[in-house]
Chains A and B, each alone.
Chain A
Amino acid sequence: MKLWDLARTANRNLFRAKLRTFLTVMAIFVGAFTLVMTNGVGDGLRDYVEMQVKTFEGERILFVRKKLPAELEEQANSSGPVEYKEATEDGEGNLIDPNSVVVSLEQIEGLKDKRPDVRSITPACRVNPEYISVQGGKKYQVGIGMLSEGVEQKLEAGKMFDGSDQIILPIHLARAYDENVGNLVGKTATLAYRVGNDRELRSRDLTIAGVATRGMISNLNAFVDTETAKAIYTEQNGDTPNFNYFNNFTIQLERADSELLESTKERLDKLGFVGLGIADIEKRTYDAIGILQVGLNVFALVALLAASFGIINTLVIAVMERTKEIGLQKALGMGRFKVFLLFSIESVLIGFWGAMLGIVSAIGIGSAANAFLSATYLESFEGFSLFAFRPLALGAVLLLVCAIAFVAGVMPAIRASRLDPIEALRYE
Chain B
Amino acid sequence: MLETSELRRTFTSDAVDYEVLKGIDLRIERGESVAIVGKSGSGKSTLMHLLACLDRPTSGRISFEGRDYLSLSEKERDRLRNEKFGFVFQQFFLNGRDTVYENVVLPMRIRGAADKDLRPKAMSALESVGLGDKHAKRAKDLSGGEKQRVCIARALVGGPDVIFADEPTGNLDSKTSRTIEDLMLTLNRDKGITVVIVTHDEDLAAKCGRTINLKDGMVVDELGEDDEAGEAGEQI
Contact = CB atoms under 8 A, between A and B. Distances in A.
Q: Binding site of B, secondary structure by majority: helix, strand, loop or mixed?
A: helix
A412 interface: no
Nearest to A324: B93
A76 to B, nearest CB: 62
A333 B112 contact: no
Contact of B79 (A325, A333, A336, A338): A333
A147 to B, nearest CB: 70
A334 B110 contact: yes
Contacts of B182: none
Nearest to A5: B109
Interface string A62-73: 000000000000
B140 interface: no
B231 interface: no
B29 interface: no
Contacts of B49: 422
Interface in B190-206: none
B52 to A, nearest CB: 8
A208 B106 CA distance: 82
A331 B110 contact: no
B80, B110, B111, most chain A CB atoms within 10 A: B110
A327 B166 CA distance: 15
Nearest to A327: B93
A334 B78 CA distance: 6
Given A1-B109, A1-B112, A333 B82 contact: yes
A328 B93 contact: yes
A219 B171 CA distance: 86
Interface in A3-34: 5, 9, 12, 16
A428 to B, nearest CB: 10
B87 A331 contact: yes
A217 interface: no
A329 B91 CA distance: 14
B81 interface: yes
A238 interface: no
A2 interface: yes
A277 interface: no
B70 interface: no
18 contacts: A1-B109, A2-B112, A324-B91, A324-B93, A325-B95, A329-B110, A332-B81, A333-B78, A333-B80, A333-B81, A333-B111, A335-B74, A335-B75, A336-B74, A422-B49, A422-B54, A425-B91, A425-B93
A-B pairs, top 4 by smallest CB distance, nearest first, are A333-B82, A328-B93, A333-B78, A333-B81
